[in-house]
């Protein structure tokens, strides 16, 4: 099989959104309307770092990373409020939905380590029928090459403690568990960091 890693393009946003919803079905982003998730990925493709893994022109994986997650969400809401508002109309009456929005928007503050803002791996996903073949590592290497090129010394990732494959993956590939937090009530999230470049 012929796997190719490349920078995501705007036209890939819909496939990335579909893959996100399929492989991370429990997260807040997956509870959003597909069009909103697509818009969010268009914004990440335009402003942040995102690589896709293609097999015979089909997207089977992606990795996304933000230089500053708080700013990413703020910019997204500012720019897309009117475009996404219609998809929230019915959900506005749901207390748990409002709570999840609040928890998501306050997450960047809660996952800040030592008051330091560092880039964050937002999501890494490989289609379930291609997992555990070294493809996630292929995407991680591509992301880290780019971060090193940009002189990033350290970055982080936040993973729900219940995501077994993800936690094993980060532990295996050099991340250190730096803290734990309760982003969503009753659900522990692990904050991992990885050093890419030493200070000297
Ligand atoms: C996490 C993920 C991206 C890893 O990609 P991958 O291509 O499967 O992983 P690789 O083949 O490169 O690396 C293999 C390692 O990943 C971990 N792993 C991958 N799939 C696993 C599974 N089903 N169960 C347990 N660990 C798994 C293990 O540490 C494994 O090494 P090991 O076999 O020596 O234990 C992928 O499994 C995935 O998409 N999971 C679902 C989505 C998700 O939870 N994403 C992270 C949220 S941010």
Q: Model confidence over 93-103: pLDDT tens digits?
A: 677 777 777 77
**Alpha carbons 110 and 106: distance in angstroms, whole number:** 6
Nearest ligand 1 atom, CA 122: 48
Which of 140, 156, 165 has the most ligand 1 atoms within 8 A of CB, as the residue to mutate? 165
CA-nearest residue for atom 34, ligand 1, is 172
| Structural domains of the chain in order of their starting residue, each with its CATH number | 3-195 (3.40.630.30)
pTM greater than 0.75: yes
pLDDT digits (tens, 9 = 90+) for 55-82: 999 999 999 999 999 999 989 988 888 8
Would you say residue 150 has pLDDT above 80? yes
Cβ neighbors of 3 (< 8 A, separation 6 or more) are 53, 54, 55, 60, 135, 138
* CA of 27, closest atom in ligand 1: 47
CA distance 17 to 45: 12
The protein residue whose alpha carbon is closest to atom 17 in ligand 1 is 169
pLDDT digits 0-9 by tens, 161-183: 999 999 999 999 999 999 998 87
Per DSSP, the three-state class of 66 is strand
Write down the number of H helices and E strands in the chain.
6, 7
Q: Mean pLDDT over all residues of the chain?
A: 91
Ligand 1 atom at minimal distance to the Cα of residue 157: 48
Q: How would residue 86 be classed by pLDDT, with cut points 50, 70 and 90?
A: confident
Q: What percent of the chain has pLDDT over 90?
A: 69
27-42 average pLDDT score: 92
Q: Which pLDDT does position 166 carry in this prediction? A: 97
């Amino acid at each position: 099989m012929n796997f190719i890693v490349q920078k995501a393009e705007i036209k890939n946003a819909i496939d990335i959104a579909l893959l996100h919803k399929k492989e991370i079905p429990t997260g807040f982003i997956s509870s959003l309307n597909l069009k909103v998730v697509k818009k969010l990925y268009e914004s990440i493709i335009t402003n942040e770092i995102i690589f896709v893994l293609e097999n015979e022109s089909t997207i089977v994986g992606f990795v996304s990373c933000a230089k500053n997650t708080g700013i990413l969400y703020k910019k997204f809401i500012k720019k897309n409020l009117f475009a996404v508002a219609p998809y929230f109309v019915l959900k506005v009456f749901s207390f748990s939905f409002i709570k999840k929005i609040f928890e998501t928007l306050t997450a960047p503050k809660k996952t800040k380590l030592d008051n330091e803002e560092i880039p964050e791996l937002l999501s890494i996903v490989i289609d379930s029928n291609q997992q555990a073949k070294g493809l996630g590592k292929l995407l991680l290497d591509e992301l880290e090459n780019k971060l090193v090129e940009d002189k990033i010394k350290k970055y982080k990732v936040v993973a729900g403690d219940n995501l077994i494959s993800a936690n094993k993956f980060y532990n295996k590939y050099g991340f250190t568990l730096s803290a734990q937090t309760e982003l969503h009530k009753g659900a522990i999230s692990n904050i991992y960091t990885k050093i890419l470049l030493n200070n000297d």
